[in-house]
Chains A and B, each alone.
Chain A
């Protein structure tokens, strides 16, 4: 079973708008990662945030982590049609041994 829940399950926005996705998890973590998946293909690693970090940026991506609330958010700014994909958070739990536990995913659709 999956540890994480993502919210919303689906998100539809216009090109140029910002997209925010949220992830909640259940146990203490070593790090949290975000991945993108296009149409049932392989996952693409977007960004990793360690448990002792609170915010991280990479290009148009901004990730926050609140370990007290066991939650994270991914913000994509100035979205493009090419950002249309499913986004997953994945956690590596303390003592989990490099086993990623994935959330349920958010399906993002960016319309022209």
Chain B
């Protein structure tokens, strides 16, 4: 069974640009969540999607957005990048909800210069 696949693994962007990260969940998993990990703030929840609908959203500015497609694949977009957006972005999938536990991808490391 393939794991959660995140692409790209590494990304370097310039301030002001936008970026799109992709996540392919485990087959059959309909819940996809996104987390940001930084040395200063640790792991923080961005948003969760289930069957193409956003079920929950964290405390991030509107520059952070996401979506989920009918095949459960998800993308997150960050517009007008700031230096502080440099982080490891992790995607996690679950069959339905937290009681099933989450499987995380290896992450996308974004560096904003």
Interface residues in chain A, defined as those with a beta carbon under 8 Å from any beta carbon in chain B: 1-2, 30-31, 33, 35, 40-45, 48, 50, 88, 90, 92, 96-102, 104-105
- Most interface-central of A42, A92, A102 (chain B CB within 10 A): A42
Nearest CB on B from A109, distance (A): 18
User: Are A45 and B102 in touch, CB under 8 angstroms?
Assistant: yes
User: Are A92 and B98 in touch, CB under 8 angstroms?
Assistant: yes
Secondary structure type dominating chain B contacts: strand
Query: Please, which residue of chain A has its CB at the minimum distance from the CB of B31?
Result: A98
Interface size on B, residues (CB 8 A): 30
User: Are B102 and A100 in touch, CB under 8 angstroms?
Assistant: yes
In Å, the complex CA distance between A13 and B110 comes to 33
Query: Please, which residue of chain B has its CB at the minimum distance from the CB of A2?
Result: B42
User: Are B43 and A42 in touch, CB under 8 angstroms?
Assistant: no
User: Are B107 and A99 in touch, CB under 8 angstroms?
Assistant: no
User: Are B98 and A104 in touch, CB under 8 angstroms?
Assistant: no
A-B interface pairs (CB < 8 A), number: 70
Interface residues in chain B, defined as those with a beta carbon under 8 Å from any beta carbon in chain A: 4, 31, 33, 35, 37, 41-45, 48, 50, 55-56, 58, 88, 90, 92, 94, 97-99, 101-107, 109
- Most interface-central of B4, B45, B56, B103 (chain A CB within 10 A): B45
- Complex A-B: 22 CB contacts under 8 Å: A1-B41, A2-B41, A2-B43, A2-B44, A30-B98, A30-B99, A31-B98, A31-B99, A33-B102, A41-B107, A42-B105, A42-B106, A43-B90, A43-B92, A48-B101, A88-B43, A96-B56, A97-B48, A99-B48, A100-B35, A101-B45, A102-B42
User: Are A102 and B43 in touch, CB under 8 angstroms?
Assistant: yes
User: Are B42 and A100 in touch, CB under 8 angstroms?
Assistant: no
User: Are A42 and B33 in touch, CB under 8 angstroms?
Assistant: no
Q: Would you list the 10 A-B pairs with minimal beta carbon distance, nearest first?
A: A102-B43, A97-B56, A92-B98, A42-B104, A43-B104, A42-B106, A45-B101, A98-B98, A99-B45, A98-B97
